[in-house]
Amino acid sequence: MLLAAIEAGGTKFALGLLESRGDGASLEAAPAIIETARIPTGYPDETVRAVADWFAGAFGRYGRAERLGVASFGPLSGRFGQASWGKLGPTPKPGWAGFDLPGELRSRLGLDPAVDTDVNAAALAEGLWGASRGLSDHVYVTVGTGVGGGVVSNGKLLHGAGHPETGHVPVPREPGDGYPGRCPFHGCCLEGMASGPAVAERWGAPAESLPPDHPAWDLEARYLASGFVPLVLALATERIVLGGGLGSAPGLAERVRVRLAERLAGYAPRLDEPGAMDAFVVPPGLGGHAGLLGAAALALGAE
């Protein structure tokens, strides 16, 4: 079965044509990636037009996909399973607030999309085929242009009145840090203090250009650790997968483990056991394909 998958990000859209392995809609093995592409995220109409053009070419080369999965940046408005689900909520991305992404894709591609947030989709894929395989409670956190988290609880993606917004939890300001925060809504929330744009604005250079001994990395780890405390205490999650362009920076996960242990101060005894923290904050098992594979999983009916 051919699957069309879209990871719709605030900076770029990752597109893929995949083939489900095994018997039809089986989730036992990750779908095989046949071809992928990336297009920059511009204004909605031009972006969706470029998406449709690429898939038209891919369908011509390999055959038409039977299903479509979309892992979208958020926030998404409405409630999961309702007709309004999947439209973009309030976002600083120009032109996207209120945009009906599922409706436009349905119109242009002739496929009814299965939609969830990009981080929920990545959490789903990591639980099925990646670093959280075999766990019933885990979280995927991406740190890049924004900060977000997808939550799997008791083996199912967590959906409430909306979807989890782990990137917008308030975090305590670190001593001596006068940076006001990048988030236009909350200022000093996890995304406002620890996203890629926040790092670049605070230090005057993009994170990837900063040397390993730069103080930015310890500050980043401190903010991420503060943001992770609710995931440990309120969700009692078994694992946090730390991904995204900034989240995957060399050495960052190790720093976060140290700072998270300090924040917990022995109150989560299960994480004080030897090696427990090393297995608790881990890199993605699916690398940069977690979101795209998650979109394919949505297309196959996983949730």
- Output the pLDDT for position 24: 65
pLDDT at position 290 over 80: yes
- The tokens for 74 are 């958020």
| One CATH from 3.40.50.1100, 3.40.630.10, 1.20.1440.230, 3.30.420.40 for 2-117 | 3.30.420.40
- Output the pLDDT for position 78: 78
Give CATH 3.30.420.40 domain extents, the chain: 2-117, 131-284
- Output the pLDDT for position 96: 94
What rounded mean pLDDT belongs to the chain?
93
pLDDT at position 74 over 90: no
> Mean of the pLDDT values across residues 146-152?
94
- Output the pLDDT for position 23: 67
pLDDT at position 269 over 90: no
Query: Is the previous residue joined to 75 through a cis bond, with omega within 30 degrees of 0?
Result: yes
- Output the pLDDT for position 143: 96
pLDDT at position 132 over 80: yes
pLDDT at position 148 over 80: yes
At 221, the pLDDT band (50, 70, 90 cuts) reads very high
> Mean of the pLDDT values across residues 242-267?
96
- Output the pLDDT for position 211: 97
| One CATH from 3.30.420.40, 3.40.50.10420, 1.10.10.60, 3.40.50.170 for 131-284 | 3.30.420.40
- Output the pLDDT for position 17: 98
Q: Look at the chain and count its residues.
A: 303
Among the residue ranges 54-68, 86-100, 208-222, 246-260, the one predicted with the least confidence is 86-100
**Measured between alpha carbons, how far is 203 from 163 in angstroms, rounded to an integer?**
32
HEC sequence for the chain:
CEEEEEEECCCEEEEEEEECCCCCCCCCCCCEEEEEEEEECCCHHHHHHHHHHHHHHHHHHHCCCCEEEEEECCCECCCCCCCCCCCECCCCCCCCCCCCHHHHHHHHHCCCEEEEEHHHHHHHHHHHHCCCCCCCCEEEEEECCCEEEEEEECCEECCCCCCCCHHHCECCCCCCCCCCCCECCCECEHHHHHCHHHHHHHHCCCHHHCCCCCHHHHHHHHHHHHHHHHHHHCCCCCCEEEECCCCCCCCHHHHHHHHHHHHHCCCCHHHCCCCCCCCCEECCCCHHHHHHHHHHHHHCCCC
Q: For 185-204, what is each residue's pLDDT tens digit?
A: 899 999 999 999 999 999 99
Position of tokens 């001593």?
175
83 versus 257: the higher-pLDDT residue is 257
